[in-house]
Amino acid sequence: MAKCAAIKADNSRCKVEAMLGAEWCWNHHPDYEAARRRRASKGGKRGGRGRPSVELARLQARFEELAEKVLAGEVERGVGAVAGQLLNGARACVRDALTAREQEELVARLEALEEALERNQANAGGVRGGGRWGA
Protein backbone atom coordinates (compact mmCIF):
# COMPACT_ATOMS: atom_id res chain seq x y z
CA MET A 1 0.00 0.00 0.00
CA ALA A 2 1.24 3.52 -0.79
CA LYS A 3 2.45 5.95 1.83
CA CYS A 4 0.69 9.26 2.48
CA ALA A 5 1.81 12.02 0.10
CA ALA A 6 1.61 14.78 2.72
CA ILE A 7 4.65 16.78 3.78
CA LYS A 8 4.70 17.58 7.50
CA ALA A 9 5.65 20.88 9.13
CA ASP A 10 9.24 19.68 9.62
CA ASN A 11 9.48 19.10 5.82
CA SER A 12 9.53 15.32 6.24
CA ARG A 13 7.08 13.06 4.48
CA CYS A 14 4.25 11.44 6.44
CA LYS A 15 5.07 7.76 7.04
CA VAL A 16 1.49 6.53 7.49
CA GLU A 17 -0.15 4.40 4.81
CA ALA A 18 -2.55 6.25 2.54
CA MET A 19 -6.23 5.44 2.67
CA LEU A 20 -7.58 3.02 0.08
CA GLY A 21 -8.20 4.94 -3.14
CA ALA A 22 -6.56 8.13 -1.86
CA GLU A 23 -3.09 9.61 -1.78
CA TRP A 24 -3.35 10.76 1.87
CA CYS A 25 -3.85 9.18 5.28
CA TRP A 26 -6.86 10.19 7.40
CA ASN A 27 -4.80 12.83 9.21
CA HIS A 28 -3.95 14.65 5.96
CA HIS A 29 -6.92 13.92 3.68
CA PRO A 30 -8.73 17.20 2.87
CA ASP A 31 -12.18 15.55 3.04
CA TYR A 32 -11.68 14.84 6.75
CA GLU A 33 -10.48 18.31 7.76
CA ALA A 34 -13.79 19.27 9.40
CA ALA A 35 -13.88 16.06 11.43
CA ARG A 36 -10.27 16.55 12.54
CA ARG A 37 -11.02 20.14 13.54
CA ARG A 38 -14.06 19.01 15.61
CA ARG A 39 -11.99 16.41 17.43
CA ALA A 40 -9.08 18.79 18.01
CA SER A 41 -11.41 21.40 19.51
CA LYS A 42 -12.39 18.88 22.21
CA GLY A 43 -8.81 18.04 23.11
CA GLY A 44 -7.98 18.57 26.79
CA LYS A 45 -11.47 19.71 27.76
CA ARG A 46 -12.70 16.49 29.28
CA GLY A 47 -9.89 15.84 31.76
CA GLY A 48 -9.77 12.06 31.45
CA ARG A 49 -13.27 10.72 31.88
CA GLY A 50 -14.51 14.26 32.50
CA ARG A 51 -14.40 16.85 35.21
CA PRO A 52 -17.92 16.19 36.53
CA SER A 53 -16.48 13.36 38.63
CA VAL A 54 -14.45 15.95 40.57
CA GLU A 55 -17.55 18.09 41.08
CA LEU A 56 -19.58 15.06 42.19
CA ALA A 57 -16.88 14.12 44.72
CA ARG A 58 -16.97 17.68 46.07
CA LEU A 59 -20.75 17.55 46.41
CA GLN A 60 -20.55 14.18 48.18
CA ALA A 61 -18.12 15.67 50.71
CA ARG A 62 -20.53 18.57 51.28
CA PHE A 63 -23.41 16.12 51.83
CA GLU A 64 -21.38 14.16 54.37
CA GLU A 65 -20.26 17.34 56.17
CA LEU A 66 -23.84 18.59 56.31
CA ALA A 67 -25.10 15.26 57.67
CA GLU A 68 -22.46 15.29 60.42
CA LYS A 69 -23.40 18.86 61.42
CA VAL A 70 -27.11 18.01 61.53
CA LEU A 71 -26.46 14.91 63.64
CA ALA A 72 -24.16 16.87 65.97
CA GLY A 73 -26.81 19.57 66.42
CA GLU A 74 -24.65 22.28 64.80
CA VAL A 75 -27.22 22.79 62.02
CA GLU A 76 -31.00 22.71 62.52
CA ARG A 77 -32.78 19.80 60.85
CA GLY A 78 -34.95 22.08 58.69
CA VAL A 79 -31.97 24.11 57.49
CA GLY A 80 -30.03 20.90 56.86
CA ALA A 81 -32.93 19.45 54.87
CA VAL A 82 -33.15 22.51 52.62
CA ALA A 83 -29.37 22.61 52.17
CA GLY A 84 -29.44 18.91 51.27
CA GLN A 85 -32.13 19.55 48.67
CA LEU A 86 -30.09 22.36 47.14
CA LEU A 87 -26.97 20.19 47.02
CA ASN A 88 -29.03 17.43 45.44
CA GLY A 89 -30.19 19.91 42.79
CA ALA A 90 -26.57 20.80 42.06
CA ARG A 91 -25.74 17.10 41.76
CA ALA A 92 -28.58 16.63 39.30
CA CYS A 93 -27.27 19.53 37.19
CA VAL A 94 -23.79 17.99 37.03
CA ARG A 95 -25.26 14.61 36.12
CA ASP A 96 -27.49 16.10 33.42
CA ALA A 97 -24.62 18.12 31.94
CA LEU A 98 -22.52 14.96 31.72
CA THR A 99 -25.38 13.06 30.06
CA ALA A 100 -25.93 15.88 27.55
CA ARG A 101 -22.21 16.03 26.70
CA GLU A 102 -22.09 12.26 26.16
CA GLN A 103 -25.14 12.45 23.89
CA GLU A 104 -23.61 15.30 21.86
CA GLU A 105 -20.41 13.28 21.42
CA LEU A 106 -22.37 10.21 20.33
CA VAL A 107 -24.35 12.27 17.81
CA ALA A 108 -21.12 13.70 16.37
CA ARG A 109 -19.61 10.21 16.10
CA LEU A 110 -22.77 8.86 14.46
CA GLU A 111 -22.81 11.73 11.94
CA ALA A 112 -19.17 11.04 11.06
CA LEU A 113 -19.96 7.34 10.55
CA GLU A 114 -22.95 8.19 8.37
CA GLU A 115 -20.80 10.56 6.28
CA ALA A 116 -18.17 7.86 5.84
CA LEU A 117 -20.83 5.33 4.85
CA GLU A 118 -22.28 7.73 2.28
CA ARG A 119 -18.81 8.36 0.83
CA ASN A 120 -18.12 4.63 0.65
CA GLN A 121 -21.45 4.00 -1.06
CA ALA A 122 -20.80 6.84 -3.51
CA ASN A 123 -17.31 5.47 -4.28
CA ALA A 124 -18.75 1.99 -4.83
CA GLY A 125 -21.37 3.42 -7.17
CA GLY A 126 -24.16 2.15 -4.96
CA VAL A 127 -23.69 -1.36 -6.38
CA ARG A 128 -23.94 -4.19 -3.89
CA GLY A 129 -20.69 -6.05 -3.73
CA GLY A 130 -18.75 -3.01 -4.95
CA GLY A 131 -17.51 -2.01 -1.51
CA ARG A 132 -14.19 -2.79 0.07
CA TRP A 133 -15.43 -5.94 1.78
CA GLY A 134 -17.95 -6.94 -0.86
CA ALA A 135 -20.91 -5.72 1.17
Q: Between 117 and 36, name the one with better pLDDT.
A: 117
Q: Exposed (0-12), middle (13-18) or buried (19+): which is 4, by Cβ within 10 Å?
A: buried
As a whole number of angstroms, the distance between CA 1 and CA 15 comes to 12
pLDDT band at residue 125 under the 50/70/90 scheme: low
Q: Between 125 and 127, name the one with better pLDDT.
A: 125
Give the pLDDT mean for 103-125.
Answer: 87
List residues bridging with 13 in a β-sheet.
7
pLDDT tens string 78-113: 999 999 999 999 889 888 988 898 999 999 899 999
Q: Between 32 and 74, name the one with better pLDDT.
A: 74
pLDDT tens string 41-82: 665 555 544 567 788 888 888 989 999 999 999 999 999 999
CA 30 to the chain's CA centroid: 22
Please give the pLDDT value at position 26: 82
CA 50 to the chain's CA centroid: 9
